[in-house]
Amino acid sequence: MSTHPPVAIVTGASRGIGQAIALRLARDGHAVAVNYAGHRTGADETVAAITAAGGHAIAVPADVSQADEVAGLFAAARRAFGRIDVVVNSAGIMSLAPLAAGDLAGFDRIVAVNLRGAFLVLSHAAREVADGGRIVALSSSVIAKAFPGYGAYIAAKAGVEGLVRVLANELRGRGITVNAIAPGPVATELFLTGKSEQQITQAVQATPLERLGTPEDIAAAVAFLAGPDGGWINAQVLRANGGFA
């Protein structure tokens, strides 16, 4: 049996949910490749927190919508740690616009990061994750709500859920699980930016637990799927949302 820690890649891990996932997986014993696109300071802080606690981590820049940069991310993780056991695709963006506005540039950007990015990360994970490993993608519970203005975001996240189910079937025989986590409203910059106090209050009231989720709530769900207790969960979407949807 190998004495080396399992190795995880977490995309979008410089802040918010991705950062919490990286910290939690490190706490659970994983060496972590902390991916970021534009927030280098946050990635460095994540790595510093992991190493200060006795763990192992590196920060790796990569825009998940760019094929060569995703390839570089996986190559950097393998160079640093020798193997890849867990991949969590948490990178994502969100902007809101009604379909009637015809914001094609906004639509293309959301699809590029949230869906094309997921496709690229999952594709590399399928080739590079060790047998018996774990692949987790981030979706969203807003899919079930169909709120006005969320068309592009929902379309991209629905596509992510489709990719997860297909990949789980394609990896038959290798003991690799492929699942999605669909958070509800979580108190992150991504969720809070551009929302009024009334909109935030409505989100809280729509949740039976009467609070927004925390990044740590979602990280705990990812840790379950990435750990030994999640080994029989495959091709599923876990809606970690406090009852929001």
Q: What is the mean pLDDT of the chain?
A: 96
* Token pair belonging to 206: 């729509």
Convert the pLDDT of each residue in 21-67 to its tens digit: 999 999 999 999 999 998 999 999 999 999 999 999 999 999 999 99
Q: Alpha carbon of 196 to those of 184, 193, 209, 213: distances in Å?
A: 17, 9, 21, 17
**CA 40, CA 28: separation in Å to the nearest integer?**
24
What's the pLDDT band for 225 if we cut at 50, 70, 90?
Answer: very high
Judge whether residue 202 has pLDDT over 50: yes
pLDDT in tens, 128-144: 999 999 999 999 999 99
Global confidence as pTM = 0.96
3 state SS of 240: coil
> Is pLDDT above 90 for 189?
no
Catalytic residue among 36, 81, 107, 153: 153
pLDDT at 160 over 80: yes
Own/partner pairs for 45-48, CB < 8 Å, 24+ apart? 45/14, 46/13, 46/14, 46/19, 46/22
Residue 212's pLDDT band, with cuts at 50, 70 and 90, is very high
Closest C-alpha to 179, from 217, 139, 143: 139
Look up 153 and say whether it is catalytic: yes
3-class secondary structure, 197: helix
Backbone angles phi, psi at 138, to 5 degrees: -95, 125
Look up residue 79 and give its amino acid. R
Q: Which residues contact 44 (CB under 8 A, 6 or more apart)?
A: 59
Burial (CB < 10 A; 0-12, 13-18, 19+), residue 46, is buried
Most confident of the following: 101-105, 185-189, 203-207: 101-105
Q: Where are the domains of the chain?
A: 7-184+215-238
What integer pLDDT is reported at residue 3 of this predicted model?
63
Q: CATH class for domain 7-184+215-238? A: alpha beta
Rounded mean pLDDT, 193-205 = 87
What's the pLDDT at 1? 37
